[in-house]
Amino acid sequence: MPAHFLNADLDVFSDRDLKPLIDEIGERAFLLHSGPYTDDLPFMARYEIDSDCEPKKPETLILAFCDLIESLSPSSRSLWDSSRERVIDLGYEVSSSRDRTADRITADTLRRMSALQIHLAWTFYPPDQDSQNPTV
């Protein structure tokens, strides 16, 4: 089995309190974690977003995050713009298979991400050992 796309997280890192941004986003995205990060970047928020499409695709989730950020009020958008780092991290579970996995992010989506100053990252997780070794 090739690598399997799991999720897309949006991480926001700031030296300003992100609570107003977190409050405005509310339930439009699932807040996985918020709080202290480092002395240099004391505030962070990590989100996942749901999508109605199945199967979930990286580009669909990226576009949902872009829609969310573009819809923010001026004060929350200012807080977003002043944050020091914004990253969408695409998570994949890898396998020992040599099969190839290919996902595509279009130029239009990359332009939207760039306008919002969002970096793109990938995280590759080892296979879930429980699914590899089922009990009999």
DSSP string covering 51-62, please?
A: -SSSS--HHHHH
Q: How far apart are CA 38 and CA 62, in angstroms?
A: 26
pLDDT of residue 16: 93
Mean pLDDT by 10 residues, the chain (136 residues): 85 95 95 87 91 79 96 97 96 79 91 98 82 45
pLDDT of residue 122: 94
pLDDT of residue 54: 66
Contact (Cβ atoms closer than 8 angstroms) between residue 95 and residue 126: no
